[in-house]
A = this chain, B = another copy of it.
Amino acid sequence: MVENRRTRRTQRALKSSLIELVLERGYDAVTIEDIAAEADISRATFYAYYRDKPALLTQIVLDLQGELAARLERLRLRENSYFSGEALRILFEHAEEERDAYRVILRGEGDGTALRIFVDTRTEAAKEIFLKRAEVTGTQFRIDPEILTRAWVGEQVTVLLWWLEPEERPIPAAEVAQVLTDLSVHGRMWASGFDEVPEGTF
């Protein structure tokens, strides 16, 4: 199975068919026969490329992460800053371009594996940045960086899914990214309009 025009077409078709059908009917309601039919390919060929449905979905996340990682790497070479909110904007823009794939993944379709891969990869990336920043600036974490990272990725993923779901997104990518950065940087009380945390609370 070398890289041909044909094989590429086949794999692309299978991936986008899965995405389309899953969004339409839900993961469990889609059979391999359905995917093959939608892709105009025989069921036998499906098995030439993927062991089963989960394998195809996993490949979709891996591809997506690969593309995202490439864009972030390009940014890193340009900017070399651990303080830019740029990375988040890139994530949201990428997600908008690949809206359907992201929706399938972030919804957790097909046992949660795809989502788990996505979250874990993002977590690793974020953790590295946080730790490197602390190292460079000599700053001491006030809370466990593990929790910090998990929380940060959790925010991203949840807001991302919410933002992607409607057909038209009223808020542009750059703007949600900025909002999320502001919230994360300044905290929830600031975001709620308080200038300081009210007395005798929390």
A161, B184: Cα distance in complex, Å: 20
Identify A83's interface contact among B28, B107, B202, CB under 8 A.
B202
Chain B residue at smallest Cβ distance from A153: B158
- What per-residue 1/0 map shows which CB atoms of A154-183 lie under 8 Å from chain B? 111111001000000001000010011111
Residues of chain B with a CB closer than 8 A to A192's CB? 130, 133-134, 139, 141-142, 145, 148
Chain B residues near A197: list those with CB within 8 A. 185-186
A112-B112, A184-B188 are known; give 7 further A-B pairs, CB within 8 A. Answer: A107-B116, A110-B111, A133-B192, A145-B192, A148-B183, A154-B154, A181-B202
Distance of A167 Cα from B152 Cα, bound (Å): 24
Chain B residues with Cβ under 8 A from A130's Cβ? 192
- Which residues from chain B contact A137 at a C-beta distance below 8 Å? 194, 198
* Interface membership of A190, Cβ < 8 A: yes
Interface string of A21-49 (1 = CB under 8 A from B): 00000111000000000000000000000
**Cα distance A27–B28 in the bound complex, in angstroms:** 12
Partner of A112, one of B81, B115, B183: B115
Residues in B whose Cβ lies below 8 Å from that of A180: 147, 151
Bound state CA distance, A115 and B147, in angstroms? 21
What are the residues of chain B within 8 A of A15 when measuring CB–CB?
none
Task: Write the nearest CB–CB distance from A119 to chain B, whole angstroms.
Answer: 7
A142 in contact with B190 (CB, 8 Å): yes
A139 to B194, CA, bound (A): 7
Question: Hey, which chain B residues are within 8 Å of A110, CB to CB?
Answer: 111
Q: Per a CB cutoff under 8 Å, which of B27, B54, B81, B171 touches A111?
A: B27
Instruction: Tell yes or no: A140 within 8 A of B by CB.
Output: yes
Interface string of A102-129 (1 = CB under 8 A from B): 0000011111100110010000000000
Flag if A184 contacts B181 (CB, 8 Å): no
A143 touches B109 (CB 8 A): no
Report which of B142, B152, B185, B202 forms a contact with A84, defined as CB distance below 8 A. Answer: B202
